[in-house]
Amino acid sequence: MTSSEDVRRAVGINDVAARAGVSPGTVSNVLNRPERVAEATRLRVEQVIDELDYVRNSSGRSLRSGRTDSIGLLVLDVTNPFFTKVSEGVEDEAAGAGYPVVLLNSAENPQRQRRSLRLLAEQRAAGAVIMPVDNDLSDLLWLRERGIPWVLLDRGDVSADLGCSVCVDNHEGGLAAGRHLVSLGHERITFLSGTLSLEQCRTRLNGLRTALDEAGIDPDDAVRLVETGKLNAANGEQAVEEVLGGGPKRRPQAVFCANDQLALGLLKGLGERGLHAPGDISVVGYDDVDFAALVHPGLTTVGQPKYELGRAAMRLLLSELNDPGHRHERMLFAPELVVRGSTAPYRT
Amino acid sequence: MTSSEDVRRAVGINDVAARAGVSPGTVSNVLNRPERVAEATRLRVEQVIDELDYVRNSSGRSLRSGRTDSIGLLVLDVTNPFFTKVSEGVEDEAAGAGYPVVLLNSAENPQRQRRSLRLLAEQRAAGAVIMPVDNDLSDLLWLRERGIPWVLLDRGDVSADLGCSVCVDNHEGGLAAGRHLVSLGHERITFLSGTLSLEQCRTRLNGLRTALDEAGIDPDDAVRLVETGKLNAANGEQAVEEVLGGGPKRRPQAVFCANDQLALGLLKGLGERGLHAPGDISVVGYDDVDFAALVHPGLTTVGQPKYELGRAAMRLLLSELNDPGHRHERMLFAPELVVRGSTAPYRT
DNA sequence: CGGTCTAATAAAAACGTTTTATGCGCTTCG
DNA sequence: CGAAGCGCATAAAACGTTTTTATTAGACCG
């Protein structure tokens, strides 16, 4: 039976070998170490590969070699432009070295992170670039025990004994934002955070507190914390209630948001209540996502070299994969305050 | 030698079998058809699996079975919120059925699309959800010949003979935008397009022209086309020059953009030249991305059920994978005009 | 009690590669 | 001139599963 529904049996390395009059091993060599095979044979085999439209079966390949060449990229939120920008960097760098990247989305959900890591283990991925959902690194160590190396992204607090990491100095970023607000005369500042199980949030908050401390202001008095869940615009918008809570007297003079998504959502929520930045309240974001420049007023924010972050992470991973003398490394980038229209001096 | 650098040999199904005192085949059955094995044996094997922390090797698995269970999702631009929203829908639906999703990014680049499809072929993916970069479907047919089925997303012009597709009616969307602009009195409208090799762009433009036709206005006179490359904000901003080109006399009264990214970029570019929507010019976007509501003025745009689009596509793919009586299907959703502040009546 | 049926497991044969050991025919050199 | 070396190719043995076929031990039945 050869109905049109039938998929004709896939052509394998053996079919190619037979047709080209060589052994399967030679075909494999043409594919993997062309320099080991004579010019003439190589050309002949390559032609047959084309004729038969042979496509390598990566299951067989990696079963034998114990390895895949695909790289996992595990992000916290695929809808967040920060992560997609980072992933562009990772992809470009990986593509340059011939590694395919598969993007996995944990959606800030530990369960899903776990499933994704397991998938990488089952598939014997070559390595991974990971932005972890929380402090619990045990699953990551588990992965490494299984021979799958990773580079951590956006986690500054992890020892280089465990693995490489690439990070932007979050304390410095929080500090820059804090200093900016202090210099504008703000003394009642709310930190609008995602879940504090994210190290980024905690450290940015600490930076803010340090800035106040520097200025002789007691952070415990000056800083109020509003903790939402995920770092998205919906949560920012929803948090406006709690941010403004406590009556006009206790209304913050400024809000520093853990990322731009929250900040943009917050701006919208404020607008719906007839409040506007910077007149009624100053707002600072974090990440300098493309959209931060598109809203009106432009969002003052702490910029991160997103694309470069991704490239650097991938470069470290490639080093670990290919360089025998590799040593784990912590790379720290500097954030950069981008002042736009959403912040202004405090008017009493 | 068992230095700490050494990865202890991975435990396989055979180790589990030995320790549990059963045959490898039985372990496989515990994993894949637990109902075929006696309760007591099952429990014993499961315990050993835990003890040894056995992780299935998917290479071996799929080599034997000829199939993987992972689903490819190929998007046009991973930084575009439209696609990430769609991908959430795909992921959620797939997760519900136990299929892992790997996200691949073609970046509107035919080369990269080709590489991604090849990767799916090499890995014998179970199936794919694809947003194609252009009209050339030959690579897709090639994939299907190899036994990998797909569902097309955002392509309304493909016959159901080839495969399932899910789409929002782009002509209807262009029409809605056009009618809106016409009703506001605009008669000189520029269509700011991505590359016209994207069917979406062409069809939306046609919808716009139909709207003018309906109103007794000659589209050839009224509509000017500005074609950029990729559908991102940078291109929108850059296009402002050409959009305004031709002097104030020929300046369009309104611009209809092929997607929100272009529109948002355009708004920014206009702002930098001291022009504002809707006072100086009306602007309409497409997609109703979250950010469209966050800019000021809010962006009038044609909304698409992004998340539902993704779910529907994945549902069709699951049907094709699991339902023996599957028939290809074209699903067409209806777009919805969302009027915000970026459009206003034309003032002579 | 011999026969048939069933449930549970075992044994062994794939799946498509890569890799290792080996062979063969030449050239080169001591 | 024999040995060693080299370039190229082959044969065969893995890799870790799944699946098909066979085997066993009871249970059931006439």
Q: Is the CB of A8 under 7 A from strand C?
A: no
Q: Is the CB of B330 under 7 A from strand D?
A: no
**Mean pLDDT value across residues A165-194:** 97
Provide the token pair at A113: 């992170």
pLDDT at residue B7 above 50?
Answer: no
Per CATH, B67-167+307-331 and B170-304 having the same topology is answered yes
Q: SS3 for A252? A: coil
Architecture of domain A67-167+307-331: 3-Layer(aba) Sandwich (3.40)
Provide the token pair at A291: 């959209």
Give the integer Cα–Cα distance in Å for B67 and B20.
Answer: 28
pLDDT at residue A243 above 50?
Answer: yes
Q: B26 CA, D28 C1': separation in Å?
A: 27
H/E stretch holding B331 reads: strand B330-333
**Mean pLDDT value across residues B156-185:** 94
Helices (H), B190-259: 199-214, 219-222, 233-238, 240-244, 247-250
Beta strand B336-338 with B300-303 is antiparallel
For residue B294, the model assigns a pLDDT of 87
Name which of A209, A238, A210 is nearest A224 in CA terms: A209
Residues 49-108 of A with CB under 7 A from strand D: 60, 63-64, 66
- Cβ contact A141:A132 at 8 Å: no
User: What are the extents of the domains in chain B?
Assistant: 4-56, 67-167+307-331, 170-304
Name which of B9, B59, B54, B61 is nearest B45 in CA terms: B54
**Mean pLDDT value across residues B102-106:** 94
Name which of A323, A326, A320, A330 is nearest A128 in CA terms: A320
Task: Please give the mean pLDDT across all residues of chain B.
Answer: 93
Q: What is the pLDDT of residues B194-246, one digit of tens each?
A: 999 999 999 999 999 999 999 999 999 999 999 999 999 999 999 999 999 86
Name which of B62, B106, B54 is nearest B80 in CA terms: B106
Q: Indicate yes or no: CB of B103 within 8 angstroms of CB of A103.
A: yes
pLDDT at residue A4 above 50?
Answer: no
Mutate to test the interface with B, among A290, A299, A301 (most CBs of B within 10 A): A290
Which nucleotide is at minimal CA–C1' distance from B28? D18
For residue B295, the model assigns a pLDDT of 87
DSSP-assigned letter for residue B258: S
pLDDT at residue B5 above 60?
Answer: no
With b for 16 or more beta-carbon neighbours within 10 A and e for fewer, the B56-77 pattern comes to: bbbbebbbeeebbbbbbbbbbb
Neighbours of A278 (CB within 10 A): 19
Give the integer Cα–Cα distance in Å for B10 and B59.
Answer: 13
**Mean pLDDT value across residues A243-266:** 90
Provide the token pair at A10: 């896939």
Q: SS3 for A333? A: strand
Q: What is the pLDDT of residues B24-72, one digit of tens each?
A: 999 999 999 999 999 999 999 999 999 999 999 999 999 999 889 999 9
**Mean pLDDT value across residues B141-152:** 95
Q: Which fold has domain A4-56?
A: 434 Repressor (Amino-terminal Domain) (1.10.260)
Which nucleotide is at minimal CA–C1' distance from A29? C18
Q: List phi, psi (to 5°) of B178.
A: -65, -45
Which nucleotide is at minimal CA–C1' distance from B63? C15
Q: Is the CB of A12 under 7 A from strand D?
A: no
Burial level of B281, CB count in 10 A (0-12/13-18/19+)? buried
Beta-sheet strands, E only, within chain B: 71-75, 101-105, 127-130, 150-153, 164-168, 189-193, 223-227, 254-257, 282-287, 300-303, 330-333, 336-338
Give the integer Cα–Cα distance in Å for B292 and B290.
Answer: 5
Residues of B with CB below 8 A from A84's CB?
Answer: 78-79, 84
Q: Which fold has domain A170-304?
A: Rossmann fold (3.40.50)
Give the integer Cα–Cα distance in Å for B124 and B146.
Answer: 9
pLDDT band at B250 (very low <50, low <70, confident <90, very high): confident
Q: Is the CB of A147 under 7 A from strand D?
A: no
pLDDT at residue B4 above 60?
Answer: no
Identify the residue whose tokens are 């469209």: B292
